[in-house]
Amino acid sequence: MTEPILKARNLVKRYGKVTALDHCDFELMPGEILAVIGDNGAGKSSLIKALSGAVQPDGGEIWLDGKKVEFASPLDARAHGIECVYQTLAMSPALSIADNMFMGRELRKPGIMGSLFRKLDRPAMEKFAREKLNELGLMTIQNINQAVETLSGGQRQGVAVARAAAFGSKVVILDEPTAALGVKESRRVLELIRDVRSRGIPIILISHNMPHVFEVADRIHIHRLGKRLCVIRPDDYTMSDAVAFMTGAKEAPGEPMAA
């Protein structure tokens, strides 16, 4: 049986009196697009933050590639190959595309005075950024030195996804990647998500957009009241079924479906 690439059991996260994660389970299988859906306040962001090191759970366990992990910070999760693109894109608008792709992990030229004094290796960074954008078919972005603030919303999202795909060797997490985009730009980002999957990288997609979820997801994790309610396949249920499960209007199917 295939083992999950990322797995969590009994995750608990409390904020004061609020229980955001209430013994929540989670499984991401290799090479899949797993959508995570749920009502406002259901605990989706808390789950994603726990899986990407942005918050430390109060209880429960996480395994990556079969090994138990505890992420002290998002940097720690990144070092393990988990990249997260948050709704607020965490980009520096005035900096170039290449600079944004490398933020916090710039390539440096070999130096003799220790790493602190090593100069940035701009040609290498530009080459890498260009290659990654090309790989994902982001050919509309012509100039790698263009400031990110001059890009359209879809292009910015594209750079963020390319950055995550370039460095996320194991898992890419996308939080509402199409929320602020128009129809055409959303389409491109959905294609990009499929491109990332076709390169063998599994994706967790948090979204309120049911048509997008049903279009790209292999499986859908439905979150309710701080825990996983069920996991469904988009072919087996309608969007209104999913919304009814999510809101409690309809009883959800039992055990989570295997991948």
Ligand X SMILES: Nc1ncnc2c1ncn2[C@@H]1O[C@H](COP(=O)(O)OP(=O)(O)OP(=O)(O)O)[C@@H](O)[C@H]1O
Nearest Cα to 66, choosing from 38, 96, 40, 29?
A: 29
Residue 52 touches ligand X, criterion: CB under 6 A: no
Binding to ligand X, residues 102-161 (CB under 6 A): none
Which stretch of DSSP H or E encloses residue 6? Answer: strand 6-15
Q: How far is the CB of 124 from ligand X (least distance, A)?
A: 38
Instruction: Out of 41, 59, 123, 137, name the contact with ligand X by CB under 6 A.
Output: 41
Nearer to ligand X, 219 or 227 (CB): 227
Give me the 5-34 binding string for ligand X, x by CB under 6 A, dash otherwise.
----------x--x-x--------------
Nearest Cα to 166, choosing from 94, 93, 107?
A: 107
From residue 58, alpha-carbon distances to 76, 77, 112, 116, 189 in Å are: 18, 17, 45, 37, 34
Stretch binding ligand X (CB under 6 A), from 35-43, 160-168, 184-192, 214-222: 35-43
| Helices marked H in 94-251 | 97-102, 122-135, 153-167, 183-198, 210-216, 239-247
Residue 40 touches ligand X, criterion: CB under 6 A: yes
Residue 248 touches ligand X, criterion: CB under 6 A: no
Nearest Cα to 103, choosing from 111, 95, 114?
A: 95
Q: How far is the CB of 72 from ligand X (least distance, A)?
A: 18
Nearest Cα to 109, choosing from 97, 124, 127, 130?
A: 124
Stretch binding ligand X (CB under 6 A), from 39-47, 148-156, 185-193, 246-254: 39-47
Which stretch of DSSP H or E encloses residue 44? Answer: helix 44-51
Nearer to ligand X, 19 or 152 (CB): 19
Instruction: Out of 6, 8, 24, 42, name the contact with ligand X by CB under 6 A.
Output: 42
Q: How far is the CB of 54 from ligand X (least distance, A)?
A: 10
Nearer to ligand X, 87 or 92 (CB): 87
Nearer to ligand X, 38 or 256 (CB): 38
> How many residues at the interface with ligand X, by CB under 6 A?
11
d(CA 42, CA 247): 10
Interacting residue ranges for ligand X, rule: CB under 6 A: 15, 18, 20, 38, 40-46
